[in-house]
Amino acid sequence: MTATTGAYRAAYEASAANPEAFWMNAAEAIDWITDPTSALDDSGAPVYRWFPGAELNTCFNAVDRHVLAGRGDQTAVIYDSAMTGVKDRFTYSELLDEVKAFAGVLVDQGVTKGDRVIIYLPMIPQAIIAMLACARIGAVHSVVFGGFAANELAVRIDDATPTVLVTASGGLEPGRTVEYLPMVAEALSLSKGSIHTVIVKERRNVPGTIKTYNGVNDVTWLDWDDAAAKVTPADCVPVLATDPLYVLYTSGTTGKPKGIMRDNGGHAVALTWSMANIYNIKPGEVMWAASDVGWVVGHSYIVYAPLLAGATTVIYEGKPVGTPDAGAFWRIVDEYKVRALFTAPTALRAIRRVDPELKELARYDVTSMHTLFMAGERLDTETLEWASEGLKIPVVDHWWQTETGWAITANLRGIETLPIKPGSSTVPVPGYKVEVVDGKGNHVAAGEEGNIVIKLPMPPGTLAGLWGRPDGYQKAYLEAFPGYYATGDSGYLDEDGYVFVMGRTDDVINVAGHRLSTGQLEEALAHHPDVAECAVIGVKDELKGQRASGFVTLKAGVDRNHDEICTELVKLVRDKVGPVAAFRDVLVLERLPKTRSGKILRKTMRQIVDGEDFVVPPTIEDISVLEDLTVALVGNPEPMKPA
């Protein structure tokens, strides 16, 4: 373990030596209906469950208890739409009233404990309200990112078999409006018919009303506001700690999405613990996760964790740049006195590309912010240093997955701030026993790259299984390295116990027998002063098996010959990584193809370069970027459509 001898090490060793006592102590922060008598149930190992036999209600813990404690007038949710100019606030009392009413709407539609509800909403307060309303009555919500194609929505409907779908007339993107109702109607026609009611929040800024669709597909279409005005508010329903709270779909290797299932008890305990110990956020303080409720970050740190902790959360409908400028994030921090901001490296790189000197930052007072947390993709050194120097606060990279639901590694600001090492997401969070092994499961030496695994059992809050696939969890994550959860990421531990995540295991490039991580090569490219963003993929090579190919975008205002820049980049990689990289291919692009959550589509890029058949990911942010890349690489002008 790390050489640190302070508070972090004491907490980590306590969690490792006696996880039962550690997590029972953490569980005291939750209001239980039936108190837990033990923390860990290992009777189904290697699948473990947390707080067996205990009962609670997650919505009660997130909303009701704060009102009952006399804090009903505190702001719970801040809504800021850069797309419409609308701003709003909900106190805990107001949020409670909204949630109770919408829970009553769901009850009126026959939704009971254990039933599934699909939530297909943009970044508006109703997304939070709908999720909490499901939790209130013991229903299982499955949020689908607003704007997903009809086929993708239909696939998730058929897998979760919900009875009710909650949506809005549409969402807003810079320069375009995304109408949801036509996509919902198409998805219903493609699905097997489990949905009997669609509830629609109509937005003045988006065309389309339920009048057009009522009765379509033999489904009842209800107006949110009308329905909520007529119901009896619903009370909280007790659920077991091991009962599912939600199902969130993530990409599957077979092309079929995997429904990550999260339980109620472990989730509430872990997220509450994380707010105090990782993010150092206290009741009444403002935390802003600049993500989307359709992703796991939105579930954990827009909706549940801040409210469980009695803090204030921000739901933002906008972008880091272009709504209206590169100062959008700093405006939010200033206006709402945000204490901690959580975003993805790609958002910072977008700001840096447009405003490398951080001139927009000077317009705002961001002294309320004590930490900038990063996750979603590897944080490169250049971006880390740029943000640290500009903001003059700790910029903390931390690593986690949809499956874990909260951080695996972090610099725990609420326990002890450790020295930051560029390229590292710092150290394992208490509860996570992170190790690195080779392909045969043998441990590797410090500094040697391998497969990152987590020794079982994992802590509370991590996935409880895959929806509808009883053996799916074990087959997908536990069989590769018995006794461990396989993260699918490669990297290494240094001599101090710091974790360096270098990329997905399928992003490791094998050049003439030498294993090179894409993260290592991207780190070198990012050091070039003209580069805003970069991606490296491994492409087929008849002689070496694979060769590294780089793609870069340039900072705003760079007007140099691209060939000269590419020559400098090749030299930079060879100087920093060595000739073994055999690096010679670089292409300058206007934009990199990304998902809506900001992840670069490296696998799709590799398939295009190698001439393989590929499916356009439904999560893609802008299809035209992928079309431009395809034309540049293989001269294929055919228009693309998401799966």
Residues 6+ apart with CB under 8 A from 141: 116, 117, 118, 119, 130, 131, 134, 135, 245, 246, 247
pLDDT tens digits, one per residue of 87-114 = 999 999 999 999 999 999 999 999 999 9
For the segment 218-233, the average pLDDT, to the nearest whole number, is 95
Report pLDDT for 151.
Answer: 85
pLDDT tens digits, one per residue of 226-277 = 999 999 999 999 999 999 999 999 865 445 779 999 999 999 999 999 999 9
CB neighbours (10 Å) of residue 202? 18
pLDDT tens digits, one per residue of 6-59 = 999 999 999 999 999 999 999 999 999 999 999 999 999 999 999 999 999 999
Q: In the predicted model, is pLDDT for residue 634 greater than 70?
A: no
In CATH, which superfamily holds the domain spanning 402-507? Luciferase; Domain 3 (2.30.38.10)
CATH 3.30.300.30 location in the chain: 512-634
CATH 2.30.38.10 location in the chain: 402-507
Report pLDDT for 612.
Answer: 81
DSSP string, 544-604: TEEEEEEEEEE-TT--S-HHHHHHHHHHHHHHHT-GGG---EEEE-SS--BBTTS-B-HHH
What's the pTM?
0.85
CA distances from 481 to 227, 456, 473, 478 (A): 51, 11, 13, 6
**Nearest partner of 61 among 99, 88, 25, judged by Cα:** 99
Cα-atom radius of gyration of the chain, to the nearest Å?
24
Report pLDDT for 3.
Answer: 46
pLDDT tens digits, one per residue of 331-385 = 999 999 999 999 998 899 889 989 999 999 999 999 999 999 999 888 888 899 9
Report pLDDT for 597.
Answer: 67
Report pLDDT for 511.
Answer: 66
The CATH code for residues 512-634 is 3.30.300.30
Structure token pair of residue 206: 């988006």
pLDDT tens digits, one per residue of 310-323 = 999 999 999 999 99
